[in-house]
Amino acid sequence: MLIDFFLHLKAKKLPVSTREFLTLLEALKEHVAGNSIDDFYFLARTCLVKDETHYDKFDQAFGEYFKGVTKLPGLDADIPEEWLKMLMKKHLTPEEKAKLEKLGWDKLMEEFKKRLEEQKERHAGGSKWIGTGGSSPFGHGGYHPEGIRIGGESAGNRTAIKVWENREYRNLDDTVELGTRNIKIALRRLRRFAREGAEDELDLDGTIAGTARNAGWLDIRMRPERHNKVKVLLFLDIGGSMDDHIKVCEELFSAAKSEFKHLEYYYFHNCIYDYVWKDNRRRHGERFPLWDVMHKYGEDYKVVVVGDATMSPYEILQPGGSVEYSNEEAGAVWLQRMLDTWPRAVWLNPEPERLWDYRHSIELVRTIFNNRMFPLTLAGLERAMRELNK
Amino acid sequence: MRFEGTNTYVATPDLMLAVNAAITLQRPLLIKGEPGTGKTMLAEEVAGALGVPLLQWHIKSTTKAQQGLYEYDAVSRLRDSQLGDEKVKDIANYIVKGVLWQAFEQGKPSVILIDEVDKADIEFPNDLLRELDRMEFHVYETRQTIRAAVRPIVIITSNNEKELPDAFLRRCFFHYIKFPDKETMGRIVDVHFPKLKQNLLREAMEVFFELREVPGMKKKPSTSELLDWLKLLVAEDIPPEALRSKDRKTVVPPLAGALLKNEQDVHLFERLVFMARQNR
């Protein structure tokens, strides 16, 4: 049961797994939730969705799916019949159940459809939807999403449908789902362990040496534990010609975010000039001078620039060449300055490597970066990480 | 056992359902949400409402998964052996029990709070997978297996500083505590200040929600800051009228320091107020 629902979520690219689905079924079996669709919505969400960034996707998929239920009579193929039957039976009185038996399921659905159409007109006329409930076997159909919405809840009683229809979590959905394992593994090459911080591990060799020197009196030596201390500064080109590459960039970003402890990121457009920004919605209100960024992050940061470097050569070579505003110094000056601050830097280019020679601006950036430009593919990523580790 | 909220904690229906699902199916519950929405409080309230002990494990960047199980204090054993202490013969004297061990040997239900799991190293959640799944672990030093007779209720909070591994997430229930809307917030304030004058409350809430709308705020004021601010307003006996001046955009609310915790935010806010005055 509910398998179609599960597959629907899967088709909508929610990262749901069988294990979580079985948990949901177990929860239903244990009667964790009541029988209303609201409770079911909350329960399904808590079991299947493990990240608030997916809430919005889930709301949409759930709404779509259970809206499908209202269209039931026309579309028997897509609808989980048992689910609907079960849901309805739960709310029926014994007489209604008897009637249901008498009518038979097909007949009932037909009538249900008729009733629905009628209902729509009546709703337009301003009379209420749930009120008809008492006499009809469909009265409690009010639980299906359409019904609740039209019915209008009493004020203050917030129902789930409002949550999923309002899509309150839309803002949270800014990352890509976690299909990024390969990228993570590639990035893992960059890990570098070093001893730093509090001394909380016994240095056995040091202790033995020290004790020996003390003629047998114990001399305990401690040392800090090994940590992954790689620090990464990410600059992402956004907008314009980069729109074609949004997906792969999102994947890289989402992988990098979970892989490094010290990860800072900034956005730029086409080429890096005096300003970068952190939030694309407020890019004009909230900008960070590149000078500040250079002063803030020391040379132990490794810099990864992601961009297609596809622009007019003037944007790199000429002061005032920026497409956005009049820059006092040319992009090349800023890029060189960055490389002076952070000697370990690579440029990842989502454009295929074979096209690089045909674009003048790519050639320019590549020269400035001393040939450390790599394609944004798994292989390219590995080469880039090896370069950064040198 | 069911959790229905308490006198001092307002739980929304979806939160209650998530908690009850975790209790019934005995799986860990992962709680996320804006800072100050009561994530840590939840564990205390669940333990209080169910009348079971609460064991807290606050995670720091240096915390290791092993510390939650047990630690073998080799250094003091080494030192004791130098001094010829009798204790040294039994290794069990140097095993220090961690939070999970303590919970496992309770023999009755308990609540474990693993607070701010995202503070720890990336590998931390993965290291606890089996222990939280099977509720058992092996002590190599004494060759014994510690198993929970009654599975404890595990509540894990995260501030989203790091993403958690998929394998870990799959084993948990998840709930994101949304910032309360005006109505829920009213109930929360009622619970904390039952005698607060109705109109003072209303005015204060409006000021508060307007403040949250100011764009570019580094740290938006949260529920716990609202409660602090109300406490101050009540203590100072500020009349409701003071909050709602004729032209409210042009006045800094009294005692705003309780709401804005970041000097950049205070500057931003003062600048906005100043601009509003200019435009008048």
CB contact (8 A) between residue A43 and residue B21: yes
Give the pLDDT of residue B249. Answer: 54
**A199 to chain B: closest CA residue:** B62
Q: What is the pLDDT at residue B101?
A: 92
Rg, Å, chain B Cα set? 24
Q: Do A50 and B174 touch (CB under 8 A)?
A: yes
| Residue A316: pLDDT over 90 | no
SS3 A306: strand
Give A376 to chain B, closest Cα distance, Å. Answer: 23
Q: Which residues of A touch B163 (CB under 8 A)?
A: 51, 178, 254, 257-258
Type of residue at B12 = T
Whole-number mean pLDDT of chain A? 71
Of residues B144 and A170, which shows the higher confidence score?
B144
- What ipTM does the predicted assembly reach? 0.70
Q: pLDDT per residue over A86-141, tens digit each?
A: 555 555 555 555 555 555 555 655 665 565 555 444 443 333 333 333 333 343 33
Q: Tell me the average pLDDT of chain B.
A: 83
Q: How far is Cα B162 from Cα B118, in angstroms, rounded to an integer?
A: 5
pLDDT greater at residue A249 or residue A80? A249
Q: CA A137, A142, A156 angle in degrees (round to 5)?
A: 150
| Spatial CB neighbours of A57, under 8 Å, sequence gap ≥ 6 | A12, A13, A14, A173
Interface of B to A at Cβ within 8 Å reads 13-14, 17-18, 20-21, 24-25, 27, 30, 32, 62, 74-75, 78-79, 82, 121-122, 162-163, 165-166, 169-176, 178, 181, 183, 215-216
Q: What per-residue confidence (pLDDT) applies to A278?
A: 81
Side-chain-side CA neighbours of residue A148 (13 Å): 18
| B74–A26 CB contact, under 8 Å | no
Give B247's pLDDT tier (boundaries 50, 70, 90): low
Could you tell me the pTM of the whole model? 0.57
CA–CA separation, A30 vs A39, rounded Å? 14
Q: How confident is the model at residue B61 (pLDDT cuts 50, 70, 90)?
A: confident
